[in-house]
């Protein structure tokens, strides 16, 4: 065959191929999961079931293609790169409220607040009380999938030795008693057994790790303030008095804070600290190390400390969810298909079962308002009591601030406020006044975040 | 020369230039696509507030540069770059010279083996090394337990600015000294043995022989190693990123870490590009100064 004829046949073939593809009757939705195997495994199973169901949007069958999002240098940077190079998926999970604010300010995510499917998902997962905390300038950009509510991880043996045999400390007054006991003869006896410090929290001295402020400062700020925000729009709403109380709470522990990195402390036979901050993601690690939970075991979870008994222990929730991208390479048809997929996953007859699968596969509590009342989860929680406490905290958990300058704001809080205060408190034998440090932090946070 | 022969010579030159450009074109294209083009684009980015995600952006003039000059973090990176330079370069050069002489003095059968052994740290992953160092210096490590238990010494390795800085310097010196030693070893091996014999006959031994005979002979290689080490001091990223986050109190931050934080953590890509250009200018001035000094020393 001559070259001209070959090229002609090739061109005709390509033309037919393109036409056939356009008329194939499918719309492909790219869906990115978090860059970890557990979440990918869960979604892969869901997607296979969905694709087998041949759900349609218009006349076209939806085909969801799932992959893990890139995590180098970070998952957020991976999304940034995808949006910049027009290779973004129509849908991804693993988005927290702070990054959602950045995406919303860039105009690259859909506001779903008034969408029928969104309202249906909120109802089916009983999230009516949860979603107001996720609003960004009155709009909604994320369907939260899970929440890791922050709390304290207590060394039961040490706790009992310090006089807390019946229950974990829950108030700042309880902490004061604990500190006094640790610095007295009971503490000396513990130190002789290798329990060197009361509170394992080197992150208090690491302001460059801005996300750690979620897990210490913001956790206690929510507990002390009743779930109030740090930032609203362009205004710093952090209450200086409450911030000072939080500083003082940590500072009261003084040199009994373990300021050195010790990642395996709670996996050892002799745990060298009485308490640390933690979330459900640590549970599998300690269970693998053979630890048992409960007052008759090795460890027990406790809520954030509140000002006085009876206060609701609001806490920070490391929570992420699904968001729908727009613009660039993403077509309206793909967005509708992504919406149809999410609607299917969280349909009233499926949402509890799918969330139960999520919990089983990932070990993370789904963001639902009925975790402690829905029969679908009762069996799991009964067999895993360490999740029971945290399940009750989900309803009082507060997500990250909705600010595109969140990282700078929290870095400033740590650099100019918390870390210098804790350094001073650890060196001092008497209480250090937190007010000047809080004032410095507020000035720095306003400057870093362009806040009023 | 006649007009015809001059024209003929011109045509030959033009033909030879075309051939030269043809053979150079792959690298020229590569340089334009991967260096010059991105450099021009980066400069444009510094003049905008684009975060690479938004579908719109605005001109901000030199505001990103102004912010960088006023930033405590960028100032710390600038100062730390000279601290790293002042520590990494002389220590790694001294250690490399020592290792080169060790290699030079080994029997021929062992030179190859030890060359590979000295090169291995350079090949090691920065991530793996940092993870090991993190555990080595953690509170409950055997090393720290021994320090506290036996020597009654308690060092806050990663919360003390001085200790954290020297840990990072130590990792980098360990990583590159063997690699630089191979450069110097090759240079030592290339010195004709007759020069050494003549030096012995003249009574030049020990330090005198090193400074009067050996060092001048390997000076061009020392110049190369100096420039490499200086460039390295400006490319420090993995170790502070993984071990200290740039702290404590910005003691270990670097240009590259601040550039990373600006671009991929804060998503201020224009500001990050401004930091990158300032870093490039800093590197250029320093390397130029080093080469100017070394040119004078070499000429002498």
Mean of all residue pLDDT scores within chain A: 91
In this predicted structure, the answer to whether residue B22 has a pLDDT above a threshold of 70 is yes
- Residues in B touching A408 (Cβ below 8 Å): 266
Name which of A80, A207, A258 is nearest B139 (Cβ-Cβ). A258
The number of domains in chain A is: 2
Identify the pLDDT of residue A21. Answer: 44
Contact present, A261 and A267 (Cβ < 8 Å): no
The alpha carbon torsion through A312, A317, A323, A327 (nearest 10 deg) reads 110
CA distance A143 to A122: 8
Quick one: angle between helices A332-345 and A116-124, nearest 10?
Answer: 20
Chain A CB within 8 Å of residue B271 CB: no
Shared domain check, A171 and A280: yes
The alpha carbon torsion through A27, A33, A35, A39 (nearest 10 deg) reads -130
CB contact under 8 A, A73 and B51: no
CB contact under 8 A, B55 and A105: no
**A384 phi/psi in degrees, rounded to 5:** -125, 75
Chain A CB within 8 Å of residue B149 CB: no
% of chain B exceeding 70 in pLDDT: 95
DSSP characters for A283-301? Answer: HHHHHHTT--BSTTSSEEE
In 3D space, the residue among A213, A277, A237 whose CA is nearest the CA of residue A410 turns out to be A213
Going B88 to B92 to B95 to B97, the CA torsion angle's sign is negative
CA distance A294 to B86: 55
Domains assigned to chain B? 1-46 (no CATH), 64-299 (1.10.3720.10)
**In the block, residue with structure tokens 């009516």:** A128
Q: Kindly state the DSSP code that residue A56 receives in the 8-state scheme.
A: E
Looking at the domain assignment, is residue A381 inside a domain? yes
Identify the pLDDT of residue A5. Answer: 63
Contacts of A407 (CB under 8 A, 6+ apart): A98, A210, B261, B265, B266
Last residue of one domain, picked from the residues A398, A419, A434? A398
In this predicted structure, the answer to whether residue A9 has a pLDDT above a threshold of 70 is no
Looking at the domain assignment, is residue A284 inside a domain? yes
Shared domain check, A248 and A144: no
Residue A235: give its domain's CATH number: 3.40.190.10
CA distances from B22 to A333, B13, B19, B28, B32 (A): 48, 14, 5, 10, 15
Shared domain check, A414 and A270: yes
Chains A, B: CB contacts within 8 A come to 86
Chain A CB within 8 Å of residue B138 CB: yes
Token pair of A167, please? 């229950």
CA distance B34 to A331: 31
Looking at the domain assignment, is residue A144 inside a domain? yes
A22-A25-A29 Cα angle (round to 5): 90
- Residue A8: pLDDT band with limits 50, 70, 90: low
Shared domain check, A391 and A323: yes
Average pLDDT over residues A117-135: 93
Shared domain check, A59 and A46: yes
Shared domain check, A137 and A56: yes
Shared domain check, A426 and A390: no
Shared domain check, A209 and A101: no
Looking at the domain assignment, is residue A10 inside a domain? no
Shared domain check, A217 and A93: no
Looking at the domain assignment, is residue A357 inside a domain? yes
The alpha carbon torsion through A257, A261, A267, A269 (nearest 10 deg) reads -60
Going A274 to A279 to A282 to A284, the CA torsion angle's sign is positive
**In the block, residue with structure tokens 């011109």:** B10
Structural domain boundaries enclosing A431 = 151-316+403-449
Looking at the domain assignment, is residue A15 inside a domain? no
Å between A40 CA and nearest CA of chain B:
24
Token pair of A160, please? 């009992």
Token pair of B143, please? 């090393």
Name which of A202, A259, A408 is nearest B266 (Cβ-Cβ). A408
Looking at the domain assignment, is residue A8 inside a domain? no
In 3D space, the residue among B216, B214, B210, B220 whose CA is nearest the CA of residue B188 turns out to be B214
Q: pLDDT tens across B256-295, in order? A: 999 999 999 999 999 999 999 999 999 999 999 999 998 8
Contacts of B222 (CB under 8 A, 6+ apart): B93, B184, B215, B294
CA distance A134 to A317: 11
Max Cα distance, chain A (Å): 98
Contact present, A47 and A31 (Cβ < 8 Å): yes
Å between B46 CA and nearest CA of chain A:
16
Å between B36 CA and nearest CA of chain A:
20
Shared domain check, A83 and A162: no
Identify the pLDDT of residue B200. Answer: 76
- Residues in A touching B245 (Cβ below 8 Å): 206, 208-209
CB contact under 8 A, A80 and B53: yes
Contacts of A142 (CB under 8 A, 6+ apart): A95, A96, A97, A100, A134, A320, A321, A322, A323
Shared domain check, A327 and A312: no
CB contact under 8 A, B267 and A102: yes
Name which of B140, B159, B261 is nearest A264 (Cβ-Cβ). B140
Contact present, A127 and A369 (Cβ < 8 Å): yes
Looking at the domain assignment, is residue A134 inside a domain? yes
CB contact under 8 A, B54 and A106: yes
ipTM field = 0.85
Identify the pLDDT of residue A6. Answer: 61
Å between A163 CA and nearest CA of chain B:
26
pTM attached to this predicted model: 0.87
Q: pLDDT tens across A296-327, in order? A: 999 998 999 999 999 999 999 999 999 999 99
Shared domain check, A132 and A59: yes
Average pLDDT over residues A34-43: 94
Å between A48 CA and nearest CA of chain B:
31
């Amino acid at each position: 065959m001559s070259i001209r004829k070959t090229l002609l046949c090739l061109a005709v073939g390509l033309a037919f191929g393109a036409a056939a593809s356009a008329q194939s009757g499918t719309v492909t939705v790219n869906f990115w999961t978090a860059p970890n195997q557990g979440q990918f495994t869960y979604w892969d199973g869901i997607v296979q079931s969905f694709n087998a169901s041949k759900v349609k949007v218009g006349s076209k069958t939806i085909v969801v293609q799932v992959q893990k999002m890139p995590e180098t240098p970070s998952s957020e940077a991976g999304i940034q790169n995808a949006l910049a190079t027009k290779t973004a998926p129509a849908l991804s999970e693993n988005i927290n409220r702070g990054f959602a604010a950045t995406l919303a300010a860039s105009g690259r995510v859909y506001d779903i607040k008034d969408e029928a499917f969104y309202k249906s998902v909120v109802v089916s997962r009983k999230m009516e009380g949860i979603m107001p905390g996720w609003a960004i300038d009155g709009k909604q950009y994320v369907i939260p999938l899970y929440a890791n509510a922050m709390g304290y991880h207590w060394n039961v043996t040490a706790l009992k030795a310090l006089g807390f045999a019946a229950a974990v400390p829950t108030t700042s007054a309880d902490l004061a008693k604990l500190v006094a006991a640790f610095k007295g003869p009971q503490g000396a006896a513990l130190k002789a057994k290798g329990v060197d410090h009361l509170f394992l929290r080197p992150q208090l001295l690491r302001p460059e790790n801005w996300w750690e402020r979620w897990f210490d400062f913001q956790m206690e700020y929510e507990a002390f303030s009743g779930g109030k925000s740090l930032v609203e729009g362009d205004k710093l709403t952090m209450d200086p008095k409450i911030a000072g109380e939080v500083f003082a709470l940590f500072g009261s522990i003084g040199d009994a804070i373990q300021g050195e990195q010790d990642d395996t402390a709670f996996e050892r036979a002799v745990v060298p600290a009485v308490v640390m901050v933690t979330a459900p993601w640590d549970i599998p690690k300690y269970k693998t190390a053979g630890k048992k939970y409960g007052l008759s075991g090795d460890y027990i979870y406790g809520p954030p400390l509140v000002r006085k008994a009876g206060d609701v222990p609001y806490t920070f929730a490391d929570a992420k969810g699904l968001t729908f991208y727009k613009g660039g390479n993403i077509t309206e048809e793909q967005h509708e298909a992504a919406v149809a997929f999410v609607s299917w996953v969280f349909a009233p007859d499926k949402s509890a079962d799918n969330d139960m699968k999520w919990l089983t596969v990932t070990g993370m509590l789904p963001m639902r308002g009925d975790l402690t009342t829905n029969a679908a989860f009762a069996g799991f929680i009964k067999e895993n009591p360490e999740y029971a406490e945290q399940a009750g905290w989900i309803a009082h958990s507060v997500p990250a601030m909705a600010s595109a300058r969140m990282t700078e704001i929290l870095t400033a809080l740590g650099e100019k406020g918390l870390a210098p205060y804790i350094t001073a408190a650890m060196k001092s034998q008497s209480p250090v006044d937190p007010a000047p440090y809080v004032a410095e932090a507020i000035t720095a946070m306003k400057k870093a975040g362009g806040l009023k | 020369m006649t007009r015809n022969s001059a024209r003929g010579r011109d045509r030959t030159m033009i033909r030879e230039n075309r051939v030269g450009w043809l053979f150079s074109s792959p690298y020229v294209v590569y340089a334009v696509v991967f260096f010059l083009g991105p450099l021009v684009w980066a400069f444009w980015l510094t003049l905008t507030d684009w975060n690479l995600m938004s579908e719109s952006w605005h001109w901000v003039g030199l505001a990103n540069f102004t912010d960088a000059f006023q930033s405590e973090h960028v100032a710390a990176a600038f100062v730390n770059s000279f601290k790293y330079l002042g520590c990494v370069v002389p220590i790694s050069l001294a250690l490399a010279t020592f290792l080169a002489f060790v290699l030079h003095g080994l029997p021929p059968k062992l030179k190859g083996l030890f060359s590979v052994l000295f090169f291995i740290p350079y090949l090691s992953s920065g991530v793996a090394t940092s993870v090991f160092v993190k555990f080595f210096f953690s509170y409950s490590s055997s090393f720290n337990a021994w320090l506290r238990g036996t020597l009654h010494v308690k060092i806050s390795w990663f919360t003390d600015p001085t200790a954290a800085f020297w840990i990072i310097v130590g990792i980098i010196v360990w990583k590159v000294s063997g690699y630089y030693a191979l450069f110097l070893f090759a240079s030592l091996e290339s010195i004709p043995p007759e020069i050494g014999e003549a030096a012995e006959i003249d009574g030049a031994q020990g330090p005198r022989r090193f400074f009067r005979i050996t060092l001048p002979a390997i000076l061009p290689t020392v110049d190369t190693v100096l420039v490499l080490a200086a460039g390295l001091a400006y490319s420090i990223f993995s170790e502070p990123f993984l071990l200290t986050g740039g702290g404590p109190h910005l003691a270990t931050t670097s240009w590259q870490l601040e550039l990373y934080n600006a671009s991929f953590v804060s998503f201020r890509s224009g500001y990050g590009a401004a930091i990158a250009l300032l870093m490039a200018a800093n590197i250029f001035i320093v390397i130029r100064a080093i080469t100017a000094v070394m040119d004078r020393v070499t000429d002498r």
